[in-house]
Amino acid sequence: MVNTANVTTRPEDRFVAEFERFEALHTNGSSEHFPLLRQKALRQFSATGFPPRKSESWKYTNIGSILRRPYSAPDTGTVRASGLDGLGAYVAVFVNGHFDASQSTLDDLPEDITVASFTDQTQAGRVRAHLARYAAFEHEPFTALNTAFVHDGALVHLPAGIALSRPIHVIHAVTASYAALLQPRTLVISEDGAQAQIVQSTEVHTKMPVLINSVTEIRVGARAQLDHLMLQAGTPSTSNVANVSVYQETESKFYNGSFTFGGEVVRNNISILPDAEHCETLMHGLFVARGTSHVDNNTLMDHAKPNCFSSEYYKGILDEHATGVFNGKVLVRQDAQQTNAYQTNRSIVLTNTAHMYSKPALEIYADDVKCSHGATTGQLDKDGLFYLRARGIRADEARRLMLISFAGDIIEKVPAASLHRVLYREVERLLR
Amino acid sequence: MNTDTQYLQEVADSDYEHGWAVDIVSDTIPKGLTEDVICLISEKKEDPDWMLENRLRAFRHWQTLARDKDKYPRWAHLDYPDIDFQDISYYSAPGSKPKYKSLDEVDPELLRTFENLGIPLEEQKVLAGVAVDAVVDSVSVATTFKEELAKLGIIFCSFTEAIENHGDLVRKYMGSVVPYTDNFYAALNAAVFSDGSFCYIPPRVRCPMELSTYFRINQAGTGQFERTLIVADEGSYVSYLEGCTAPRRDENQLHAAVVEIIAHRDAEVKYSTIQNWYPGDSQGKGGVLNFVTKRGICKGAGSKISWTQLETGSAITWKYPSVILQGDHSVGEFYSVAFTKGRQQADTGTKMIHIGRNTSSTIISKGISAGLSNNSYRGLVRINKKAANARNFAQCDSMLLGDRCGAHTFPYLEIHNPTAQVEHEATTSKVGEDQLFYCQQRGISEQDAIKLLVSGFCQEILAKLPMEFAVEARKLLAIELEGSVG
Amino acid sequence: MTPVLEIKGLKTSVEGMLILKGVDLVVNTGEVHAIMGPNGSGKSTLAAVLAGREEYEVERGTVLYQGANLLEMEVDERARKGVFLAFQYPVELPGVSMMNFLKQAVNALREHRGQDPLSAAGLLRMAKEKAKLIGLDPRLKQRSVNEGFSGGEKKRNEIFQLAMLEPVLAVLDETDSGLDIDALRSVADGVNQLRTTSRAFVIITHYQRLLNYIVPDFVHVMVDGRIVRSGGKELALDLEEKGYDWVRYDAAA
């Protein structure tokens, strides 16, 4: 065993050491939890290491200083999750990575729908069949790291043809008296024709630095319709690397909404692969950052098959010393004829010390396609501001109203109407 | 026949006065690059000491980059084997051994293009690298122009002459926009460059003619590591043309040119390029690898630099003509048409670096991909912290002809000032079905209709080229399309 | 004498839906036929099929043009043989100059007819003359095809091209739609100028008003994919008065 007190030059070594410590704690009796997968992922992680500073996809985000901190995977903890008021969801709560049945409200779920912990023995076969199938870790060191630590996680299974009227909400809460490494894992499997909304959020109940490295795998069955929302609202010392991998089957519809409200360094890696014809994908995102927050959205819309539609729309508001990054790629592979793909990024930079880096990219190998993208960065519309002031509204209030309506463009498009109020509340809180 | 080729024909038909100035006995330097080779080049060029020092500094820097293959620039969307830099000869004097004995040995595809462009036979031979007895003497043409320009105080000469006669100017400006530390190929160029062009426009002088390197096509050997330096002093104007529509065959596969432009207060420089280097045969063999660093600086307030390019040649094109907008109210423009076919790969675009206040830049890029080619736009727009009220508009449209090519758009927008207004738009599509139907309903065949529509797609850019150049460009594009449509 | 156009039992579908359900029509040279009908009756489909739109599947029937099978010909071949369609919605061709476009179209036609290509000067002269005849703003010739043209200018440009290409059979697809009364009149004047004994017109329209200016020899009423009534120019006036329901009931009876 590596002595963690040793000063190591590579941050990777520290994580490997932490793995070994964590592993020793968890192998007593539960070694059947995908040991091979975890070992393989660890080997992959230590071989690849974290992305080099100069790699193209990390060009604008330096996560090195975050990774050099000594994190520990937390033990079981107790904390009351705050949840999201007014969402009216079926809630599954995980504290420090462990399922907390006492705080979850899953009893009134329709009985053929499963929302369970990976440790639920009745679901072991299902988890094993799908885990790490959609989120490949070969080229994703953060996914590899997460996979190496997988013990518990949230499984959502939606049987064919069901339509759920209330959202499912998975909460990951963390509490610790030391720098904590939380690695939530979520697996959503929807069978053919299922319809549901899944909301994921993280809660940090500590002032200590926290690194959340989450992986979410989603499979959208044929003709299924799934909405997936991700809410990140961390403390100024929370860093978040969120990896979302989505696999869409024929004629399915998928909405992804990513909402980031602060955090020290946030990096979202969202990758969606419609691997069959006639799929529709909406990829929306909103980030509001202030202080010295750094938010990086790295997305891949991977069109592999013909006749699909996708529309990506990201908006950002950068205040104070914050930095925003939009690094979005639309890839249209050679077979993906008749693809219609759109990508838009609009950002507002409010101060002299805020920064925005936008890199919307199209990579297209099929000729019979309609693809376009656009990006704008600027300030608030002066005419709009003037109009509001001419109606007697104070300048700062006018500015706030304009910003809220700028963000509202994304919020209003969220399919779960019960979330609109929750999201507006967050935005208003940040823009106060 | 258009004006330029007509003119050349006249020149070709006129009495032959001077041939190649072949007075260098031993012109070949063995392959490879060492300090000795640098010294040898410097010696042959009769460099002053400071220039040799410059070369050596650049070379030492390049060595640190070339030592480690991980440091080779690989970020572009290009796929080619690593270049063996020790397998290249870095100096070839004018009139070195021709590659072919007769036109029969030359790629027939290339000859057909010459034919279509209406290039005189003798000139075809020069361009294709065939041994000739008599050549077009364009040097004398250039000399006539030079006298006229001299009256206005304009300096337009080869880089070698500039080092000799205007050393102070060259010393002052060379490397001030593209330092040797800028990138891998800029370092290489600074170490081994053989010749190029120098141009200085004095204050408040409007250069009365398009300055062109077109007339120097027979000065072979300057193309490989060419260096161009244009200085436009306060309130002056110049339009500079580079390249030539003829697909130029060159035995030197690797090209790494550097172009630097300095625009002082209220000066304007318009730089137009037609690049049609040999793209290789249908398998992509033997094509030119073109790694160019082009950059201008709008140094003074109210200055303007405009790049316009038509890129149809080379196997690999790696080129990002850029503008540093340092002066307040300065303007940068980039207009580009890049056409790729066969196995060509182009990764081209621009950088607009906004530093001064109230600066503005415009980018319009049209990419057309056919065959098995890949065509990428890569452009950076950076608005620095102090660049208040900066404006940028970028539009990049791609068109795909065929289902085995690729069209890519990689914009980078870096905004550090809240008053910036930056807009980027891009579209990718094939030729519109409705437009095609409309043309066909008027009796125009599908092939002709596609050519018509693609030319229309580029029209906006080609119209920015100086008149005669635009005529050539249209013709060239039509010929390029001929072989890739249908 | 062979008719210019002879349609027999034409049935066509688009994406599996039958639109034309058996159309018969004979057009002789020098005649002007108007085809009227309510929205969705299949009028424009007929125009599209005649011009050769690929998305329309011909299920049954024949279309003879000057005695030859029109349906076997390519789109541009039809055009070169003298079939002209004035589009309801002419597309814009950005960057393609009017003169370059006309040069290609006129010379493709001339080549087909075994004539030498027209010189640039000849073309310019011809364009000037025809533009004057049609009342097309000469400045439009300097622009890209249809780009930024107003609705009326686009329609007039279609008639101008008709004049330039001198077709044997001209099909006008709702050329009157979206035009105010002045534009309508001037477009109609243009068409009237181009009426000759060696040219046939098929004019597709929803409203009778165009026929006040272009007086047809025959009027056909199309309802639900069939021609349900044919007659002289008076038929258009009857329709104007009684509406399409009148023929609809008639057809059902």
Whether C and A touch (3+ CB pairs < 8 Å), yes or no: no
- Which of A60, A327, A333, A365 to substitute to test the interface with B, most B CBs within 10 Å? A365
Q: Among B319, B349, B374, give the residue marking a domain's end.
A: B319
In a domain, B386, yes or no: no
Q: Among B319, B350, B377, give the residue marking a domain's end.
A: B319
Of the partner residues A350, A352, A362, the one whose CB lies closest to the CB of residue B426: A362
In a domain, B401, yes or no: no
Average pLDDT (C157-180) is 91
Contact C95 B442 (CB under 8 A): no
- B419/A contact by beta carbon, under 8 A: yes
Determine the Cα–Cα distance for residues B395 and B397; give it in Å rounded to an integer. 7
Q: How far is B363 from chain C (nearest CA, A)?
A: 18
Taking the CB of residue A86, how many other CB atoms lie within 10 A of it?
Answer: 12
B449 chain-C contacts, CB cut-off 8 A: 76
Nearest residue of chain C to residue B453 (CA atoms): C96
Contact C93 B444 (CB under 8 A): no
- Report pLDDT for B30: 74
Q: Which residue has the tokens 């609809």?
A: C248
B401 chain-A contacts, CB cut-off 8 A: 367
Contact C105 B460 (CB under 8 A): no
Nearest residue of chain A to residue B74 (CA atoms): A56
C104 chain-B contacts, CB cut-off 8 A: 439, 442, 444, 448, 452
In a domain, B77, yes or no: yes
C105 has pLDDT over 80: yes
Q: pLDDT category, A3, cuts 50, 70, 90?
A: very low
* Averaged confidence pLDDT in chain C: 90
Polymer length of chain A: 432
Better pLDDT: C181 or B267: B267
User: Per mean pLDDT, which of B158-162, B351-355, C180-184, C229-233 is the most reliable?
Assistant: B351-355
DSSP string, B318-355: EE--EEEE-STT-EEEEEEEEEE-TT-EEEEEEEEEE-
In a domain, C71, yes or no: yes
- In sequence order, the 6+-apart residues with CB closer than 8 A to the CB of B341 are B279, B369, B370, B371, B373, B405, B480, B483, B484
Handedness of CA B353, B356, B357, B360 (dihedral sign): negative
Percent of chain C whose predicted confidence (pLDDT) is above 70: 98
- Report pLDDT for B218: 37
DSSP string, B240-306: EEEE-SS-B--S--EE--EEEEEE-TT-EEEEEEEE-B---STT-TT--EEEEEEEEEE-STT-EEE
- Report pLDDT for B399: 93
B395 chain-C contacts, CB cut-off 8 A: none
All chains having 3 or more CB pairs closer than 8 angstroms to chain A: B
Average pLDDT (A328-336) is 94
In a domain, B233, yes or no: yes
- Report pLDDT for B132: 40
* Interval B6-48: pLDDT, tens: 433 333 332 222 222 223 333 566 778 888 889 888 888 888 9
Of the partner residues B408, B423, B430, the one whose CB lies closest to the CB of residue A362: B408
Q: How far is C78 from chain B (nearest CA, A)?
A: 7
Q: Which residue has the tokens 């001198």?
A: C166
Of the partner residues B432, B445, B459, the one whose CB lies closest to the CB of residue C76: B445
Of the partner residues C51, C96, C112, the one whose CB lies closest to the CB of residue B441: C51
In a domain, B91, yes or no: yes
In a domain, B406, yes or no: no
Average pLDDT (C235-252) is 75
Determine the Cα–Cα distance for residues A96 and A402; give it in Å rounded to an integer. 38
Of the partner residues A352, A353, A367, the one whose CB lies closest to the CB of residue B430: A367
Domain span at B302: 1-319
Question: Among B370, B320, B322, which residue's Cα sits nearest to residue B345?
Answer: B370
A23 near A17, Cβ under 8 Å? no
In a domain, C52, yes or no: yes
Contact B455 C87 (CB under 8 A): no
Of the partner residues C80, C87, C95, the one whose CB lies closest to the CB of residue B456: C95
Determine the Cα–Cα distance for residues B114 and A140; give it in Å rounded to an integer. 51
- A328/B contact by beta carbon, under 8 A: no
- Cα B202-B203-B208 angle, rounded to 5 deg: 65
Average pLDDT (C28-48) is 92
B460 chain-C contacts, CB cut-off 8 A: 94-95
B405 chain-A contacts, CB cut-off 8 A: 365, 367
- Report pLDDT for A60: 92
In a domain, C244, yes or no: no
Determine the Cα–Cα distance for residues A416 and A197; give it in Å rounded to an integer. 7
Of the partner residues B434, B440, B456, the one whose CB lies closest to the CB of residue C76: B440
Q: How many domains, in total, are found in chain B? A: 2
Q: How far is B446 from chain C (nearest CA, A)?
A: 8
- Which of B424, B434, B435 to substitute to test the interface with A, most A CBs within 10 Å? B424
Query: Which tokens hold the place of B395?
Result: 């539009």
- A361/B contact by beta carbon, under 8 A: yes
In a domain, B411, yes or no: no
Q: Among B319, B341, B358, give the residue marking a domain's end.
A: B319
- B453/A contact by beta carbon, under 8 A: no
Of the partner residues A56, A350, A362, the one whose CB lies closest to the CB of residue B75: A56
Of the partner residues A56, A370, A375, the one whose CB lies closest to the CB of residue B429: A370
Specify the CATH number for the domain of residue C189. Answer: 3.40.50.300
Q: Kindly tell me the burial class for residue B105, based on how many C-beta atoms sit within 10 Å of its own C-beta (0-12, 13-18, 19 or more).
A: exposed
Looking at the fold, whether B48 and B193 belong to one and the same domain comes out as yes
DSSP string, B230-258: EEE-TT-EEEEEEE-SS-B--S--EE--E
Nearest residue of chain B to residue C109 (CA atoms): B443
- Report pLDDT for B245: 61
Contact A355 B77 (CB under 8 A): no
B438 chain-C contacts, CB cut-off 8 A: 87, 90-91, 93
- Which of A363, A402, A403 to substitute to test the interface with B, most B CBs within 10 Å? A363
In a domain, B262, yes or no: yes
- Report pLDDT for A228: 97
A60 chain-B contacts, CB cut-off 8 A: 414
Of the partner residues B402, B408, B415, the one whose CB lies closest to the CB of residue A356: B415
* Interval A268-321: pLDDT, tens: 999 999 999 999 999 999 999 999 999 999 999 999 999 999 999 999 999 999
In a domain, C36, yes or no: yes
Contact A379 B421 (CB under 8 A): yes
Domain span at C188: 5-91+152-233
Better pLDDT: B112 or A176: A176
DSSP string, A406-422: HHHHHHTT-S-HHHHHH
- A338/B contact by beta carbon, under 8 A: no
Enter the ipTM.
0.89
Looking at the fold, whether B454 and B307 belong to one and the same domain comes out as no
- Report pLDDT for B103: 66
Looking at the fold, whether B315 and B448 belong to one and the same domain comes out as no
Better pLDDT: A26 or A229: A229
Contact A379 B400 (CB under 8 A): no
Contact C95 B448 (CB under 8 A): no
Determine the Cα–Cα distance for residues B38 and B451; give it in Å rounded to an integer. 47
Contact B441 C87 (CB under 8 A): yes
Range in A24-28, A342-346, B278-282, B300-304 with the lowest mean pLDDT: A24-28
- Report pLDDT for B19: 24
pLDDT in tens, chain B (486 residues): 333 334 333 333 322 222 222 233 335 667 788 888 898 888 888 889 999 999 999 999 999 988 877 778 888 888 888 888 888 777 765 444 455 666 666 666 666 666 665 555 555 655 555 444 333 333 444 556 677 888 999 998 888 889 999 999 999 999 999 999 999 999 999 999 888 889 999 999 999 888 876 443 434 444 578 899 999 999 999 999 887 666 555 555 788 899 999 999 999 999 999 888 888 877 777 788 889 999 999 999 999 999 999 998 888 899 999 999 999 999 999 999 999 988 899 999 999 999 999 999 999 999 999 989 999 999 999 999 999 999 999 999 999 998 889 999 999 999 999 999 999 999 998 888 899 999 999 999 998 999 999 999 999 999 999 887 888 888 888 888 876 765
Q: How many domains, in total, are found in chain C? A: 1
Determine the Cα–Cα distance for residues A120 and B59; give it in Å rounded to an integer. 65
